[in-house]
Amino acid sequence: MARILIVGGHGKVALLLAPLLVSRGDEVTAVIRNPAHAAEVRLTGAEPVVFDIEHEDRAAFARLIAGHDAIVWSAGAGGGSPERTRAVDFEAAVRSMDAAKDAGVRRYVMVSYFGSSPDHGVPEGNSFHAYAEAKAAADEYLRATSLDWTVLGPSSLTLGAGTGLIDAEAESSAKVSRANVALVIAQALVEPATIRRTIRFNDGGRPIAEALAG
């Protein structure tokens, strides 16, 4: 049994992930911004905690994280202004990483996206540019920490079935179901071979456990 903190607990992937973790005996804390989402989150078996990741400081993050065994960052600003995108997708994420160190919680799984890179290639005029910049910077910050990190880079998300099969050697982004992303996160949390690795993946033909084992 592990105690898992999911940041962004009302997201579509997080709502699929929580019951997977609970069903195998993990205790799940789901961090949400809107108290109105608590009942839906509780139905997954997770315990909802209302916490404003955009505005709470590092010390508050550390208190939230303390006592857990791992953190899954699955939060995002979801569009809006470039300023808020940076505040959530970069600044809040970095505070959570620093706070994880403060709290003595080493395992950290970042849910990013396939094309996240300092050389993401998204032009400044594109509405996706602020997100691409923020995610690339957050991922790079995480890789430079002493945490036991994993950066997961799923491709374009779909509502397809969770087949349990992925392609973790793909060189270009295609599609992957949110259900498969949830399965990948769950497996990454228990697969030591994923530590300090960036894993980009599409739906594919290889069982997730095998694909993540290296």
CATH code at position 9: 3.40.50.720
Q: Which domain holds residue 188?
A: 3-212
The DSSP output letter for 167 is: E
CA-to-CA distance for 88 and 73, rounded, in angstroms? 11
The DSSP output letter for 126 is: S
Average the pLDDT over 149-176 and give the result. 97
Domain count, the chain: 1
**Res 214: pLDDT:** 76
Q: If you compute the radius of gyration of the chain from its CA atoms, what whole number of angstroms results?
A: 16
Positive or negative, the CA dihedral 58, 59, 62, 63 is: negative
Task: Let me know: does 150 contact 31? Beta carbons within 8 Å.
Answer: no
Average the pLDDT over 36-48 and give the result. 98
Q: Which of 142, 116, 140, 111 is nearest to 129 (CA)?
A: 116
**pTM of the prediction?**
0.97
**Res 121: pLDDT:** 84
pLDDT digits (tens, 9 = 90+) for 55-84: 999 999 999 999 999 999 999 977 779 999
pLDDT digits (tens, 9 = 90+) for 104-160: 999 999 999 999 998 898 988 888 899 999 999 999 999 999 999 999 999 999 999
pLDDT digits (tens, 9 = 90+) for 18-41: 999 999 999 999 999 999 999 999
Q: Which of 198, 206, 205, 200 is nearest to 181 (CA)?
A: 200
Query: Mutual orientation of helices 178-188 and 12-23 as an angle, nearest 10°?
Result: 50
Contacts of 7 (CB under 8 A, 6+ apart): 31, 53, 71, 72, 73, 74, 75, 96
- pLDDT at 48 > cutoff 80: yes
**Res 80: pLDDT:** 74
